[in-house]
Every structure is written in C-alpha cells, then in structure tokens.
C-alpha cells in the first residue's frame, strides 16, 4: 500500500498535466532541501568520523564526490513531487475491527518539494535498514 501511494504521488508530479502546478506549489521549498542536504550529505561525513570507522583518503574522496553529485541532483533536478521525509515515523496505521488494517495515513508534509524521486525511495529504504540493523528482527 505504501509503495502504491508513493508511486501515485510521483506519477502525479511526473504527469505533464500536473507538473507545472506541482512546480509552482512546491519548488520554492528551499529550506526543506537545505535541511535534507544537511541531514543526508553534510552530516554523513562527520557521522562516519564519530562512528570510529577509519576510511582511507581515497575512500573519503570518492564518498565526497558521490555526495556532491547527489547534492547537486537534489537541488537541480525537479523530476516530480517528493514527500521529502518518507519514513515509518510519518506513517499512521488505523486498525479497525478485529485488528484488521483499516486506513493508512502519511503525515508530516513540511518537506514536500520538487526533487528526484529517488529521494523518497532511498530515504525509506535507509530507514528500514536502520530499524532492521538496530532491532535485529525481520518484523522491523
């Protein structure tokens, strides 16, 4: 269901009939992109150092080059509407009678912007990995 929701959101923004309206509505959310950049790209290298991992200068150079390419793409590509903060903490589930799934709500839309669609997919996958890594269960 979440994958279908995300596909519909991205398809709506990719559709030429909607793209201009989406661009006018969401492309100006520069502060969201700045915060996303800080969290995903700027803090990444300092987090590596804090983790105690020792990277070679070649690895750090390669990583810095890759991060700069991603940062440039995030700020220059206006492919579609991106939720910008798509992770499990922004998904509410309503279980109806007999504990069956009734509704799913995606909340916390202040990061919505025009960006490459990999932003939402990558963020969600990264968050799933972290939960799985730290919780150590398949149910994560």
What pLDDT, on the 0 to 100 scale, is given for residue 21? Answer: 97
Q: pLDDT (tens digit, 0 to 9) for every residue of the chain, 140 residues total?
A: 899 999 999 999 999 999 999 999 999 999 999 999 998 888 888 888 898 999 999 999 999 999 999 999 999 999 999 999 999 999 999 998 899 999 999 999 999 999 999 999 999 999 998 888 888 655 54
Q: Is 114 within the bounds of a domain?
A: yes
Q: Which residues neighbour 124 within 8 Å (Cβ) at sequence distance 6 or greater?
A: 2, 6, 86, 87, 88
Task: For residues 99 and 56, give the distance between their C-alpha atoms in angstroms, rounded to a whole number.
Answer: 51
Q: Is 140 within the bounds of a domain?
A: no
> Domain range for residue 101?
2-135
Task: Give the count of domains, the chain.
Answer: 1
User: What CATH code is carried by the domain that includes residue 51?
Assistant: 3.90.1200.10
Q: Is 86 within the bounds of a domain?
A: yes
Task: For residues 77 and 17, give the distance between their C-alpha atoms in angstroms, rounded to a whole number.
Answer: 18
Closest CA to 2 of 100, 128, 138: 128
């Amino acid at each position: 269901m979440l994958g279908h929701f995300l596909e519909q959101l991205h398809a709506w923004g990719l559709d030429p009939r909607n793209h201009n309206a989406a661009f006018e509505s969401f492309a100006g959310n520069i502060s969201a992109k700045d915060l996303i950049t800080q969290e995903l790209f700027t803090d990444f290298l300092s987090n590596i150092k804090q983790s105690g991992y020792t990277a070679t200068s070649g690895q750090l150079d390669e990583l810095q080059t890759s991060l700069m390419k991603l940062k440039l793409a995030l700020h220059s590509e206006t492919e579609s509407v991106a939720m910008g903060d798509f992770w499990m903490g922004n998904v509410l589930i309503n279980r109806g009678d007999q504990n069956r799934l009734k509704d799913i709500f995606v909340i916390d839309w202040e990061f919505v912007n025009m960006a490459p669609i990999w932003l939402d997919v990558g963020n969600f996958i990264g968050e799933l990995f972290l939960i799985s890594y730290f919780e150590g269960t398949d149910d994560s």
